[in-house]
């Protein structure tokens, strides 16, 4: 019973469509996975974009210092790799959705917030 209770505290009611009024079913797990994947992909894209801006700001404020310029270039490189990875993951999810019919990339906010 303790394990179930601790697991139920990890998953907020926002992720489950019925909330705490209806008993949980196995379909709720698919809803949770879809929503978590969508949130993670979007947050990763936003983080990569912000890091791209931070790297650009570091590059502009380096003032010709080779170490700062190299660090800024590394930040920009990793941010671009991050954006490419997020886009690749998104296309892989779309590919899986096309062939399996499972709506992985669909994100809806529940009405009973």
Tokens coding 69: 């310029």
110: left (phi over 0), alpha (psi -120 to 50) or beta: beta
Domain borders along the chain are 32-104
- Rounded to two decimals, the pTM is 0.60
Helix (H, G, I), strand (E, B) or coil at 83: helix
CA distance 36 to 38: 5
- Residue 25 has phi, psi (to 5 degrees) of -125, 175
pLDDT for the residue numbered 75: 92
**Taking residues 60-69, what's their average pLDDT?**
90
**What pLDDT shows up at residue 109?**
55
pLDDT mean over 58-79: 91
Measured CA angle at 13 (ends 49, 41), to 5 deg: 20
Which tens digit of pLDDT belongs to each residue from 25-57? Answer: 766 777 777 778 778 878 888 898 899 999 999
The backbone region for 102, taken as left when phi is positive above 0, alpha when psi lies in -120 to 50, beta otherwise, is beta
Q: Could you give the CA distance from residue 101 to residue 95 in angstroms, rounded to a whole number? A: 10
């Amino acid at each position: 019973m303790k394990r179930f209770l601790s697991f139920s505290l990890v998953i907020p009611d926002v992720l489950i469509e019925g909330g705490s009024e209806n008993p949980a079913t196995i379909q709720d797990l698919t809803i949770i996975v879809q929503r978590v994947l969508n949130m993670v992909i979007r947050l990763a894209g936003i983080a990569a974009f912000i890091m791209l801006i931070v790297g650009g700001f570091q590059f502009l404020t380096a003032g010709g210092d080779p170490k700062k310029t190299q660090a800024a270039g590394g930040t920009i490189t990793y941010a671009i790799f991050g954006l490419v990875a997020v886009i690749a993951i998104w296309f892989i999810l779309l590919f899986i959705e096309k062939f399996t019919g499972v709506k992985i990339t669909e994100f809806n906010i529940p009405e009973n917030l």
